[in-house]
Every structure is written in C-alpha cells, then in structure tokens.
C-alpha cells in the first residue's frame, strides 16, 4: 500500500490535534492537581468516536480513519510511543532500591497476581452464564479472564507515579517491582492462551519463551549493564551532543523491544529491561536523562494515551451490567490482592491500600490484551468495550486515590537513595 499525499495530510492533522488538545486538557487538569496522564486519557475520549465521532462523524473518520495508510502510520507511531515510554520508565528504576523491597515485594507481587487470577478464573468457571463464549472455549476464556483481572499496566503506572512525583519513593518502587512481575507473568500466560488457540507465530513454547526472557534480562542487567557502563563515557564525549547518546539509547531500546516481540512477549518488556540497563549506569549524565525524558514524555507519550480513547465507541456495544461486573471484579480483585501482599510485607494499612490502587491501573495492557483476544475471536465486542472502560476508569482513578491514601506528609517524604 502506497502512502499517499492525502494520507500524509491526515496523519499530520491528527497528530497535531492530539498533541495540542491533550496538552491543553493536561494543563487544565494540573490546576486542580490531577496527573497529566488523566488529561491525556480524557482527550482520547473527547476526540474519539464517543463524543467527537458522534457529533462530527465525517470529520472524525477523515482525521482518524480506520483503514488506509494514515491509520497504519498512526498505529505504528503509537506503538513506538509506548515502547519509548517504557524505556524512560525503565531508566527511572534503580535496581538497588527495588531489591531492597525484599519480602514486601515478594508478597505483593505474588498476591497481586494470584488472587485476581484465581477469582477471575473462578467467576467464569462457576458462573458461565454471565459471559458469552463458545462452550468448547470455556477453559481458554476462563484463563483469559483471570489474566485480564490480574494484569496491570506498566506504561500507565509509571506515568502516574512520575506525575505524582513518587516514582522513586518506597511506595513507588514497590508498585513498580510488583507491576514488573505481574506484567511479565501475565504476558507469559497470555502467550500460552493464544498458543492454545493457535494464534501465535514464531516461538510458542512457554518454557522456551520463559527461558529466553529470563536469559535476556539477566544478560542485560549483569553483563550488558557493564558493557554500557564502559561505552557511555566514550559515547557522551566522542559523539555529537546530545544527538549521539539519544540515538544510541533509543536504538538499543528498539533492539530490546524487537527481541521480546520476536519471542512472543510484548515489545514493551524488552524496552523496559533495556531502559533499566541504561538508567542504572552511573555514567549516564543527568542532562542526558532529562533530554530523553522530556523528548518522550511531552511528544510521544501523549500520542499513546490519547490513542486509547480513539479505539472504541462507548455507546455502541455498551452493556451496563457487564461493564459494572467487570469493573467491580477488576477493582476488588486487584485491590484485595495487592493491598494484602503489601500489608503482609510490613507496609501500613494506608500505604498498602495506596499500593493496591497503584497496581489497579490497567490502561494500555488491558486494551492490548482485549484487542488480541477480540482479533482471535475469543471475546465479543461487548466484552471488549467492558475491558476498555475498565482500563480507562482504573487508570483515571488510580492517581487521585493513591494521593488520598498516602496523605500529604508521606508524599513529601524524601525519595529513597540507592545504596
């Protein structure tokens, strides 16, 4: 398919509108102390088929076409955006702080994954009449719904924590440590579900995939990190500044994303691991970190978060009862599992609930999960809409509720320092 002159005009117009409107809404939200990501998510709903598409359907279809070169280009741009967003989030993770979480991280990771998965699986298995699926797909559907209840959204969580300025605090690192485990496990399980339906290409053996991602992670965070430590001083002094370090960092970000996408996991996991390897280096200048952060968070991240609201019309295929069931189960399961684990790990009751709401943000991962399941024929449009609504609502409610349960004094605590 040739990328035409009209396709280019459409792409440029849609990107311009997404950036301008999302920034205006984000700045309005900041005045009432809402996270920037909330304004970007609401922008997607405003510009999407629910509102703008209902009042100006022809103009909406022209600006955000469902087919053609412009649509493919915009989808590719948003995929690159989420990959770079996770790379930046990885750069903010300090391994020494994550490892310090110890018992609390182990408990929280385990309970925030297992409890929602078991409850989600059990609801489908023992109350199948609530959902619509083919009889022979009962096991696969139950596995999928268990994963949908347990998975979190690293891109949204990391952005919320950054917006609230608590990313490097004890609570922030706990949420990220648990989210890494939950998302990695969730995508491994979902790869298994797709393989049961014959929907995956390339490597489909779950144990082979697990071995390869563990090997990749260990290599990058042990050997790869040492290589990066040695190479960064040369890159930052011999190559042009700041273009040299920016190109090298993002180039390796995309290589890591390519690897995890190839082995059957989502590309963001590879970008996240690569971001940790670069960000944990003592030789990466703070100015370089800030340039990469500003470049990604203010140009590409808004495109991704706005795109979430462009994917579905919330009026058509909207089943209020199904939406309420999915939303209640998602919040209850995740809040119970994550808060219980954090409390068992030694956190106070309020901090434990804050951790629970932090991990409750589903955002991108839930929508990607739902999209793949819809394309595979596992779920129908009503369930897809319910999952998207759940993803957006949990993402929007996460930040304010974390702020409420943390309290002003705890949010002003000094950030953790790596040992």
What DSSP string runs through 285-313?
-HHHHHHHHHHIIIIIHHHHHHHHHTS--
Contacts of 134 (CB under 8 A, 6+ apart): none
The pair of structure tokens assigned to 99 is 């490892």
Cis, peptide link before residue 218, omega less than 30° from 0:
no
Q: Distance between CA 37 and CA 398 in Å, rounded?
A: 11
Q: Specify the number of domains making up the chain.
A: 1
Token pair, residue 328, equals 């209640």
DSSP letter for 102, please. H
Host domain of residue 201: 78-411
Mean pLDDT by 10 residues, the chain (419 residues): 86 93 87 74 86 89 87 89 85 68 81 92 90 79 90 79 81 84 74 62 61 86 88 85 87 92 79 86 82 88 84 80 93 93 89 91 76 79 87 85 76 48
Question: In this structure, what token pair is assigned to residue 101?
Answer: 């979480």
290 Cβ neighbours under 8 A, 6+ residues apart: none
* CATH (domain of 88): 1.20.1530.20
Tell me if 351 is assigned to some domain: yes
- Write the DSSP symbol of residue 250: H
Contact 147, 193 (CB under 8 A): yes
DSSP 8-state code for residue 362: -
Residue 149, pLDDT score: 92
Would you list the DSSP string of 44-77? HHHHSTTTHHHH-HHHHHHHS-SSSHHHHHHHHH
Token code pair at residue 91: 């750069």
- Is 60 part of any domain? no
In a domain? residue 175: yes
> 67: which residues sit within 8 A by CB, 6+ positions away?
none
Q: Are 144 and 378 in contact (CB under 8 A)?
A: yes
Residue 218, SS3? helix
SS3 assignment, position 203: coil
CA distance 419 to 74: 42
In terms of Cα–Cα distance, which of 186, 191, 161, 104 is closest to 361?
161
Evaluated on CA atoms 5, 7, 12, 14, the torsion sign reads positive
Query: Distance between CA atoms of 28 and 32, rounded to whole angstroms?
Result: 7
Question: What's the confidence (pLDDT) of residue 191?
Answer: 66
In a domain? residue 21? no
Dihedral of the CA atoms 389, 349, 154, 32 (nearest 10)? Answer: 60
d(CA 107, CA 339): 10
Is 399 part of a structural domain of the chain? yes
Answer whether 116's CB lies under 8 Å from 332's CB: no
| Distance between CA atoms of residues 39 and 24, nearest Å | 8
In angstroms, the Cα distances linking 370 to 57, 141, 144, 166, 382 are 25, 12, 9, 30, 11
Q: What are the angstrom distances between the C-alpha of 118 and each of 38, 105, 123, 125, 292?
A: 30, 20, 9, 10, 40
DSSP H/E element including 344: helix 320-344
pLDDT computed for residue 324 by the predictor: 94
Residue 102 lies in a domain: yes
Q: Among 145, 78, 74, 164, which residue's Cα sits nearest to residue 364? A: 78
377: left (phi over 0), alpha (psi -120 to 50) or beta: left
Dihedral-angle region of residue 198 (phi above 0 means left; psi in -120 to 50 means alpha; beta otherwise): left
Please state, in angstroms and rounded to a whole number, the distance separating the CA atoms of residues 270 and 260: 5
């Amino acid at each position: 398919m040739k990328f035409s002159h009209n396709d280019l005009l459409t792409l440029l117009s849609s990107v311009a509108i997404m950036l301008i409107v999302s920034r205006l809404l984000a700045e309005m939200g900041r005045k009432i102390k809402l996270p920037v990501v909330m304004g970007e998510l609401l922008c997607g709903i405003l510009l999407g088929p629910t509102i703008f598409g209902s009042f100006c359907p022809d103009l909406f279809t022209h600006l955000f076409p469902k087919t053609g070169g412009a649509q493919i280009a915009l989808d590719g741009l948003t995929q690159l955006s989420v990959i770079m967003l996770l790379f930046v989030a990885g750069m903010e993770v300090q391994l020494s702080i994550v490892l310090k979480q110890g018992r609390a991280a182990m408990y929280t990771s385990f309970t925030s994954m297992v409890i929602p998965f078991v409850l989600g699986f059990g609801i489908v298995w023992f109350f199948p009449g609530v959902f619509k699926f083919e009889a022979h797909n009962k096991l696969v559907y139950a596995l999928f719904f268990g994963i949908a209840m347990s998975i979190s959204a690293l891109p949204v969580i990391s952005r919320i924590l950054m917006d609230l300025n608590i990313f490097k605090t004890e609570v922030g690192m706990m949420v990220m440590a648990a989210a890494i485990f939950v998302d990695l496990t969730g995508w491994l399980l979902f790869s298994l579900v797709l393989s049961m339906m014959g929907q995956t290409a390339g490597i489909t053996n779950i144990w082979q995939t697990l071995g390869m991602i563990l090997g990749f992670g260990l290599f990058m965070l042990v050997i790869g990190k040492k290589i990066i430590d040695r190479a960064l001083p040369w890159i930052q002094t011999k190559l042009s500044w700041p273009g040299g370090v920016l190109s090298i960092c993002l180039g390796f970000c995309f290589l890591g994303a390519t690897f995890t996408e190839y082995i059957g996991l989502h590309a963001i996991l590879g970008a996240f691991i690569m971001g940790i390897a670069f960000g944990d280096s003592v030789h990466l200048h703070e100015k370089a970190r800030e340039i990469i952060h500003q470049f990604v968070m203010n140009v590409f991240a808004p495109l991704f978060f706005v795109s979430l609201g462009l994917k579905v019309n919330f009026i058509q295929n909207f089943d209020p009862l199904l939406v309420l069931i999915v939303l209640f189960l998602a919040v209850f399961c995740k809040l119970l599992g994550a808060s219980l684990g954090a409390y068992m790990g030694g956190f106070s009751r309020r901090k434990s609930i804050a951790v629970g709401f932090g991990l409750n943000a589903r955002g991108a991962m839930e929508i990607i999960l739902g999209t793949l399941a819809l394309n595979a024929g596992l779920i129908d449009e009503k369930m897809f809409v319910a999952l998207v609504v759940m993803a957006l609502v949990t993402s929007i409610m996460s930040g304010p509720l974390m702020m409420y349960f943390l309290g002003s004094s705890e949010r002003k605590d000094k950030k953790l320092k790596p040992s």
